[in-house]
Amino acid sequence: MDDLAISVHNVSKCFRRYQHPTDRLKELLFPSQKKYAEFWALRNVSLEVPRGQTLGIVGRNGSGKSTLLQIIVGTLMPTSGNLQVNGRISALLELGSGFNPEFTGRQNVFFSGQLLGLTKPEIEERFDDIAGFADIGDFIDQPAKTYSSGMFVRLAFAVATSVDPDILVVDEALAVGDEAFQRRCFSRIAALQSQGSTTLFVSHSASKVVELCDRALLLDHGEALLAHEPKFTIDRYHKLIYAPPDRLESFRQEIRNTPDLPPDLPQPLAAEPSPSPTDTGEGTQSPLDEDFYDPNLIPKNTISYIPRGAKILNPHIETPAGRIVNHLTGRKDYVYTYQVTFYKTAYRVRFGMLVKTVSGLELGGASFTAASQEIERVDPNTTIEVRFDFRCLLNPGAYFLNAGVSGTVDGQFTYLARGIDIAMFRVRPESDSFASGIVDLLVNPHLNLLTDESVPRPGEGFPSDSARVESL
């Protein structure tokens, strides 16, 4: 248990639901008459989170995510089961929970900080840092009831992360802040991660879970269906969300039967494509100095959704001259193409594509969303070829492709066919490239040798271009 920050064993939570508010009173007066219906928000959930790991929790609305977090944080008691939490826990659950609306922001910082175990002098020492991070200006001395939802989250996050928590629990609240603030929050979470904090992170954002988490838990109707490598879990979660009603139970069972990834192995599955974005493709690289096709380079984790009126065929990448390739050269032009065969009449048909990294980070894509790009009607037994021209502005590594076609069939607008990781490709390393990261920003570096006079002295601005005297 020493290595575990959180251990949850067979935890269940049953809520009592009353049809009418007065039913509670009636039950108090006549204890023998039960007026409630039982609702099991969690059923036999078990979970282990090692110290220093970040666990994402995903699931539809009402699947039990907040209930589980509240039990871990200690604001709800489980109906049965037990759990152990090791270390100081700091939570950002419901918006502004823990804040007194009558207190000013400053008073709330001291109030919450003390609840989180800090002494008054410790809070005083950190106050400027907290107020600076929250960046709500003079509102810090206004009552919290005058705050916008964004201000609440800013201050709550600043306090929650200022106490150096052993365990940080964040429930979607960050979605309220603007993008710049979210970015700052995620940097702070990353800093806490690097200091060894354990994090629980509930989010509906697949890319955030894939980016931030070591593992992800899929909750469904209060049941822990799967705990696995984040992208693996997210893919199954999406499959579940988009499952046709008659296949839902069999999908659920399939996911239930998938073995969990043990908590101490936060590595991608052996069966998953495992190269990193900077992987050079050892063993599969052609000696030829040009694009080529490697028949062994095929995704091992393709998920095809149950087709609803159409089928996606033959997804691949071509050069503009029509040669099929899956080892590409950076900065060159290619075509991602697939065919769609329709077997039902479909209306308002749209096509889409997406490129992702090995970890599932969505890099970019396109979809025919404007009405002018839709096809008004497609008859059965029609096959359409879809072609997306693109320039490969990616650095060496392995990448995955999605394909999707949506439209209205049988009166319902839905995905008609969809393939996740339906094809993959590598971008070949180039010996003279200096680019780093994932996306090739076409950076063009220059070096200039500056004379003594053109070097700025403290307090002066940067030298203008005219001050540069010699190009290297």
Smaller CB separation from ligand ATP, 67 or 326: 67
Q: Does residue 396 bind ligand ATP (CB under 6 A)?
A: no
CB of 464 to ligand ATP, least distance (A): 54
Token pair recorded at residue 262: 């043990």
CB of 171 to ligand ATP, least distance (A): 7
CB of 410 to ligand ATP, least distance (A): 29
Among 6, 54, 58, 59, binds ligand ATP (CB under 6 A): 59
Q: Does residue 78 bind ligand ATP (CB under 6 A)?
A: no
Among 41, 45, 151, 185, binds ligand ATP (CB under 6 A): 41
CB of 13 to ligand ATP, least distance (A): 8
Residue 125's contacts (CB-CB under 8 Å, 6 or more residues apart) are none
CB of 230 to ligand ATP, least distance (A): 18
148 Cα distance to chain centroid: 26
Piece of the chain touching ligand ATP by CB under 6 A; list 45-53, 55-63, 267-275, 289-297 = 55-63
The Cα 205–Cα 345 span in angstroms is 33
CB of 62 to ligand ATP, least distance (A): 4
Q: Does residue 67 bind ligand ATP (CB under 6 A)?
A: yes
Q: Does residue 61 bind ligand ATP (CB under 6 A)?
A: yes
Type of residue found at 411: G
Are 366 and 387 in contact by the 8 Å Cβ rule? The answer is: no
Among 62, 117, 137, 437, binds ligand ATP (CB under 6 A): 62
Q: How many CA atoms lie within 13 A of 165 on its CB side?
A: 26
Among 53, 54, 63, 197, binds ligand ATP (CB under 6 A): 63
CB of 241 to ligand ATP, least distance (A): 12
Q: Does residue 174 bind ligand ATP (CB under 6 A)?
A: no
Token pair recorded at residue 132: 């600076």
85-98 burial code (b ≥16 CB/10 A, e <16): bbeebbbbbebbbb
Piece of the chain touching ligand ATP by CB under 6 A; list 60-68, 400-408, 445-453, 455-463 = 60-68
Q: Does residue 39 bind ligand ATP (CB under 6 A)?
A: yes
Residue ranges in contact with ligand ATP by CB under 6 A: 15, 17, 39, 41, 59, 61-67
